[in-house]
Structure 1
């Protein structure tokens, strides 16, 4: 009798839902894809803004009136600092590009803690840095400051790529083409031939 959001990539898919006393968990196969506080009344909706970001980055004009945005504000996940940075980005880049820049910032929350991201927004706004890359840099500075001077920073895992925030699509599109030649192992093949014993001599 209520509606709960899932990531847009699951549109049209059948998912498995587990109901608990106070929460609802959604699985795609064995992967948990959503977790919501369970609604008590009927005909309500619980929408997670993060679930819609891939769709919103293609249609940024839908963000200002989105119900998911209203619920994120009410839950404290979309803070006044987000709004202040968004307003500055729109003034600098225009309505569409400024909103798209904000959505790129929201995508960073999948890899960076919320409190560090808000700190990064505040620092970037103060310096007039209105790009997602600047927010990521400032948020990582805040994370490093939280570790303390006596605690060495954690080495990134070589087996998990989820800890590394990807470059936003707008940045990747402006990168120059990679014209370097493909690597070759031919020199090593020559070394192997030199070291191979001659089987024709006694």
Structure 2
């Protein structure tokens, strides 16, 4: 409104005249584009764009990766909660599997996940991780001029088309895995369309192009590796967060950071796996990792952060609270808590879904004892026995025998008495 008032004060011309001048200036600033043609398998374009999805009961921001074939017009979309380098590389491998091969060249903007430093012209200093990934898969990389996103206009137009046709209104899914499956289904539906003046569908072009792509091979090791030590809280620090482990304090472990989860390894064995946290200075804890410590310190159980997180995540059913309360009433507060910890330790052997069922059965039977829960678990694991097959009694009559008699013994006693044995 302020700009309008300024124009009205400084210019005496009519509205139509001003609009005409503005139109000429706008047209003069537009650069003409040169139509491009692409060979099969020659080039794919890569980009990120943001969208929203209702995951469970929360509205989440999704970072959607898109790779588009410039020859066939086919495109692959997948979503992540965070645009990390692991997600970036993992999305490439998913896209390669979707297209059935690898393009000769992939074109990007100057995203920091791939570019460490912008040099003169189109030269770039790539990140070490991206160079290793590109060398493994054998494709060339090209980067747009800074601020000139139209140089990869194919994938940018694809992102806008996909968002308008599939992400409005906001999709509602139960998990990130369901969102990914839904995005793949939408990508498959788009294969049925015909783009512009082409004579075949996108899907038909993708089938033809598959023969010209570089063959797929064994995947690249996508995980970032760290070697932290277990601290006094039985956690290891990974980037800006802490993850619990069942290992002793001071032990050095290997941590593999993936796009969606974190694994802790020791002596060739995965000892813990957590969902990856993208916040800062957070503790991601598993109550099971502290049970052996809590058997010696039962007073720390009720207020433990790990228990609080289990409650928030839905891993602690109300039946556990009822059973715990019953144990405390029968044995006392501390002995009852220690008994509840012993019950939870059974989950390591039998699994927590079975433990939940056993605790609920014990409550129904009013059996508030650790050994009762153990017996119910063992019975459940052994399985229910099949009832014995009924046998026709008539078939056994051939084996009938008369009842025994004691008369013969009476005769023996009489004989012994006559011989003077029994007086």
**TM-score normalized by the length of structure 2:** 0.34
- Other-structure match for 2:244: 5
5 Å matches for 1:43-58? 43-58=281-296
Q: Do 1:116 and 1:140's aligned partners in 2 also have CA atoms closer than 8 Å? A: no
1:18 paired to 2:270: no
Secondary structure of the structure 2 residue equivalent to 1:10 = coil
Structure 1, unpaired ranges of 5+: 151-202
Give how far 1:92 is off. Answer: 0.6
- Indicate the residue corresponding to 1:124 in structure 2: 362
Shift of residue 144 of structure 1? 4.3
Find the residue that maps to 1:123 and give its secondary structure: helix
Are residues 1:28 and 2:271 paired? no
Residue 326 of structure 2 corresponds to residue 88 of structure 1: yes
In the alignment, what sits opposite 2:104?
Answer: none
SS of equivalent to 2:349: coil
Contact 1:86 1:98 in 2 (8 A): yes
- Secondary structure of the 1:64 match is coil
1:108 deviates by: 0.4
SS at match of 2:265: strand
Q: Is the 8 A contact 1:119 1:142 kept in 2?
A: no
Inter-partner Cα distance in structure 2 for 1:25 and 1:149 = 42
**Unaligned residue ranges in structure 2 (runs of 5+):** 1-239, 388-423
Paired residue secondary structure (1:36): strand
Give the conservation status (yes or no) of the 8 Å contact 1:119–1:138: no
- When residues 35 and 148 of structure 1 are mapped into structure 2, their CA distance, relative to the original with a 3 A threshold, is farther
Runs of 4+ that moved beyond 6 A: none
Partner Cα separation in structure 1 for residue 285 and residue 375 of structure 2: 29
Which one of 100, 107, 110 corresponds to residue 345 of structure 2? 107
CA distance in 1, matches of 2:386, 2:307: 37
Larger radius of gyration: 2
Equivalent runs, 1:178-193 vs 2, <5 Å: none
Determine if contact 1:17/1:24 at 8 Å carries over to the other structure: yes
Q: 2:270, 2:284 → 1: CA distance?
A: 17
Report the number of matched residues.
Answer: 148
**Which of 310, 313, 321 matches 1:75?**
313
Q: Which has the higher strand share?
A: 2
RCO higher in structure (CA 8 A, sep ≥6): 1
Counterpart secondary structure, 2:348:
coil
**Aligned CA-pair RMSD:** 1.7
